[in-house]
């Protein structure tokens, strides 16, 4: 695994190796504290981030590597002077041992990987993908449900612009007997392209019109924020809010995930419910990203 660009690239075996390694690292972090000794990782973020950037950066530090970071590349890098993404990557690749990049272009990670001579990790690319988010989502599901096959997963919110949804669908294409229940406002419905991916990978797609259409024993409810910043038109407000009353219609074993940040699609009255996993999910991201960095650098040897 030189580059991490899309969930398309992972085999079921790759995923198992990453998740198993994440479990090993979190059980014995001291064993890995010098694993990236002498390595420099550059985080290039052209869009805002709390979790992805900080968990990657903490992962590098916990593995004994060093960091160079552009937190706000859109305004603080030479892209404001008209430098192309390709030229930025041509320069940075000569300074560092790996690049973790978030960008507003859907194809930014592929473009960077074509130029870079060091590994490129996609930390979110426009409306395209967010593969490392899906790794931590699936890792959380594996820890909480004990399996990644035979799952009913409800996907909610902004299914058209939400890159975490797109990557999640691709990643679960590696697993069997997955039923996706999609609930969103009509203007945010899942694009046909992703419905096809669900069906071509042998999984099932069900379009829902209300919470009542989602099975009561659904394993995962995965909500997402409306990506207002990605669109010129007004996408309106979320209509399908998970609150205490809604969650209580579902099984005691249904878990609620969200990549965060949330706006108002998950009410704070469920935060202390044992089924609310979104903060645990965010914390799992650090262990998964540590495992991923170990794999990427292992490949480099
Ligand atoms: N889930 C996620 O990508 O969060 P950030 O935008 O804070 O990185």
Domain 7-130+282-300, architecture per CATH: 3-Layer(aba) Sandwich (3.40)
> What is the per-residue pLDDT for 188?
96
Q: What is the pLDDT of residues 126-183, one digit of tens each?
A: 999 999 999 999 999 999 999 999 999 999 999 999 999 999 999 999 999 999 999 9
- Residue 80 is predicted with a pLDDT of 86
Query: Cα(301) to centroid of ligand 1, in Å?
Result: 30
Does residue 88 have a pLDDT over 80? Answer: yes
Instruction: Give the 3-state secondary structure of residue 53.
Output: helix
Confidence of residue 79 (pLDDT cuts 50, 70, 90): confident
Give residue-wise pLDDT tens across range 237-284.
Answer: 999 999 999 999 999 999 999 999 999 999 999 999 999 999 999 999
pLDDT in tens, 190-204: 999 999 999 999 999
Let me know: does 223 contact 266? Beta carbons within 8 Å: yes
Q: What is the pLDDT at residue 75?
A: 83
Sign of CA dihedral 33, 40, 126, 225: positive
Ligand 1 neighbourhood includes 52 CB (under 6 angstroms)? yes
User: What is the 282 CA–ligand 1 centroid distance (Å)?
Assistant: 9
Closest to 165 (Cα-Cα) out of 146, 140, 144, 188 = 188
Indicate if ligand 1 lies below 6 Å from the C-beta of 51. Answer: yes
At residue 300, the pLDDT reads: 64
* pLDDT score recorded for residue 72: 83
128 φ/ψ angles, rounded to the nearest 5 degrees: -80, -85
Query: Tokens representing 193?
Result: 């392209």
Domain with CATH 3.40.50.1370 in the chain: 7-130+282-300, 131-278
CA of 53 to the centre of ligand 1 (A): 8
Q: How far is the CA of 190 from the centre of ligand 1 (A)?
A: 21
For the annotated catalytic residues, the residue numbers are 51-52, 81, 102, 130
Among 99-113, 132-146, 220-234, the least confident range = 220-234
Average pLDDT rounded to a whole number, residues 115-124: 98
Contact assessment for residue 112 and residue 85, using Cβ atoms and an 8 Å cutoff = yes
Dihedral angle of Cα 175, 179, 183, 184, to the nearest 10 degrees: 40
- Is pLDDT at 23 greater than 80 in this prediction? yes
Q: Report pTM.
A: 0.96
Classify domain 131-278 at the CATH class level: alpha beta
Mutate to test the pocket of ligand 1, among 132, 133, 277 (most ligand atoms within 8 A of CB): 133
Decide if pLDDT at 52 tops 90.
Answer: yes
Ligand 1 atom nearest to CA at 52: 8
Q: DSSP string covering 90-144, please?
A: HHHTTT-SEEEEEESSTTHHHHHHHH-SS-EEEEEETTTB-HHHHHHHHHHHHHH
Cβ 259 under 6 angstroms from ligand 1? yes
- In contact, 266 and 278? CB cutoff 8 Å: yes
pLDDT category at 4 given cuts 50, 70, 90 is very high
User: Which atom in ligand 1 lies closest to the alpha carbon of residue 50?
Assistant: 7
What is the position in ligand 1's atom list of the atom closest to the CA of 54?
8
49 lines ligand 1 (CB under 6 A): yes
């Amino acid at each position: 695994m030189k580059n991490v660009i899309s969930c398309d690239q992972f085999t079921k075996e790759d995923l198992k190796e990453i998740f198993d390694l994440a479990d090993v690292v979190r059980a014995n972090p001291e064993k890995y504290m010098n694993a990236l000794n002498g390595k420099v990782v550059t985080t290039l973020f052209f869009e805002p981030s709390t979790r992805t950037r900080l968990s990657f950066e903490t992962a590098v530090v916990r593995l004994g590597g060093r960091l160079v970071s552009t937190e706000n590349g859109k305004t603080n890098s030479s892209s404001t002077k008209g430098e192309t993404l390709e030229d930025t990557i041509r320069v940075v690749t000569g300074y560092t041992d790996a690049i973790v990049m978030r960008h507003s272009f859907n194809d930014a990670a592929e473009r960077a990987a074509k130029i870079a001579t060091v590994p490129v990790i996609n930390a979110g690319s426009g409306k395209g993908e967010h593969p490392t988010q899906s790794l931590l989502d699936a890792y959380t599901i594996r820890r909480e449900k004990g399996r990644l096959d035979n799952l009913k997963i409800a996907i909610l919110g902004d299914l058209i612009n939400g890159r975490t949804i797109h990557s999640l669908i691709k990643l679960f294409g590696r697993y069997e007997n997955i039923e996706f229940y999609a609930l969103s406002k009509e203007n945010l419905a899942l694009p046909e392209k992703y419905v096809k991916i669900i069906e071509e990978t042998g999984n099932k797609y069900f379009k829902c019109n209300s919470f009542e259409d989602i099975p009561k024993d659904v394993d995962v409810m995965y909500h997402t924020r409306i990506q207002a910043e990605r669109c010129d038109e007004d996408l309106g407000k979320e209509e399908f809010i998970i609150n205490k009353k809604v969650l209580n219609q579902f099984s005691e074993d249904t878990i609620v995930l969200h990549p965060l940040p949330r706006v108002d699609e998950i009410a704070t009255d469920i935060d202390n419910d044992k089924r609310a996993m979104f903060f645990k999910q965010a914390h799992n991201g650090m262990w998964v990203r540590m495992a991923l960095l170990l794999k990427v650098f292992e490949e480099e040897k």
